[in-house]
Structure 1
Amino acid sequence: MNTLPIRPEIPWLAPLAGYSDLPFRMLCRAHGAGVTNTEMVSAKGLCYFNRGTSSLLNTHPEDAPLVVQLFGADPDSYHQAMDKTLEMGFRFFDLNAGCPVRKVTKSGSGSRLLENPDRLYAIAEIMVNKAGPGAVGVKTRLGWEKGVDTFLDVAKRLEDIGVAWLTLHPRYGKQLFSGQADWSRLAEVKQAVSIPIVGSGDLYTAEAGVRCLRETGIDAVMFARGAMFDPAIFERFHALMRGEESPPRDGEHLARIVRMHIQYTREFDGSDRSFRKLRSFIPRYAKGLRDIRSLRNELISCETWEALESAASRIREMQPADPLGFDPADVIPD
């Protein structure tokens, strides 16, 4: 595939540190994610290519199209990072200029790059020169702090450099995830540049994704927190875009999602670490169902894959506790 499909009807999965590994990406693809991102990968870590960094790049022929997200504040490290990932066969890349988490920003990386735009542009230019046309995007925010809006100038400069698409989460870096994402800014940047714009931020449901597209005129939406709560959000999004009803979020539907996630995890990883990680995922999928506390307690005591599958099968019989069953504040932010 020479270009990424950036169209309103094709939803994206965001780069999610600790979450968007190969099994989760495959799960989201099975439910309709059109483009997925790796977890953020340290450009400097790629220079040493330690086991922890290399595991973030695990993939599969069906895991496509895939975007590798790189982060870091040292432009020099991107030369070797890009060379290594290109040698491995990766085609599409994203520069993380949007993460607001302190462990990333304290080194000048993520959304802190917006305070040093020359460094941001230097990194983007290295990535574009290495990967070629149509292969590099940047995920960013409105600016580092409120009152210092840099996103329009940044977007225009990145377009001039050759960045092929821009993903905007319309909050400020220092804002973290407080307040609301200002979708009107997505419409502003869409009018300011000619490259495709992918929208992120407060897309907790498929309905929100459709509404964001219609209100802003952007080219695509990227689900983060919404997908962590419900990987079938992509399936629901497709149904709504076709003018159909969204599939029900009941116990049977969620049990199927959990079974698939277990299967993908065992197939593509199967380690003790992946077992413990998945064990913590499952209660999130069951949020909003009755008796979730007893299920969580049972899952914590599971020590084998078979016990995990048996405990998870209980979800099939669980009933919704309320119509929504979802508080976005309960989910790790994108």
Structure 2
Amino acid sequence: MSSIPVICDRCRATGFAGESDFTHLGDLLAFTPVPRLTKRADGWTPERQRAFIAALSATGSKRQAVQALGMAAYGVDQLLKADGSDSFKAAVDRAMLIAQANGSMKIAQGVADAAARNAQLTPPSRLRGLPPPEAEEPEEDEDRKWELLEGIGVKFMRKVAAERQARLAGEIVAADFYLRQITVMEVMLDLLSAKLGFDANEVLRDLRRGDHALVQIAATTFSDSLDRARRAWWADEGAPNRPPYPDPRFLTQHRHRDGNYAVAVDQSATGATTTPARGYTQEEWAAMGADAQWAAREKQFEEDAVAQAQWERRAHAEWEERQG
């Protein structure tokens, strides 16, 4: 397959993009790339974004363009949704118009139609008796992809519930079997999402709210609602109440247009501006030295450990009473 050229050195990218003259596209590749929060060598760099637009203008197909670059189609969807993507969106629209004007889509359709007609013809004698060539599987539409993933997700949650019930009933062998099934389904979700064009790792890396990534966020408004629903269900089942998690004492609240969220406070930090240990005001904390602050944190940790042990003993006693 011939390479797709670009118009300048800064527009070259590894993969499908080449170095031939592409001046007939004018300033198509002079758009402003979508800024990426995480700089990665294998990510959607400005060069790869321009290479994608060049490929798109030649193929008229997002799927073919990203395949030519060795990237996932989901990455383009993320680019189109990201902040600062207006220039990139305009370039995508222009590239599709160029592809249509050049008739690439009609040509591709004509080739597909010709292949379909040829498949109906009797093969020459030298090919008779040989197995027919495998037909290319049609690409699943986006709705069907999500249906497949959702179906596995529902089964996954049922297995999680079954494992929990078996574990509480003392059926350890059954619980371990469910756990193995859950592990297989976790791997299946990752592999299937990649096959359908979704990069699960990229999705997780790009999940952010405000200035914080997924692993930094301890709670959101929605997760708090789910926590309250769990606790209501536990209460209806007669189960002992659980300690609050995450502990609201150790959270910093943030407001964001996409929804409020909370970030966990670093409980190992010392200093005048750090969050005080329990029982101290910010002014009292700022007046203490580092050794005194750490001693206060150690005292808090010991108190929390004692409270946790007491709760576990109390919860276990209640569980034994229900079993009896």
Q: Same fold (TM over 0.5)?
A: no
> What TM-score do the two structures reach when normalised by structure 1?
0.23
Higher share in helix: 2
Normalized per residue, the structure richer in strand is 1
Larger Rg: 2
TM-score, scaled to structure 2: 0.24
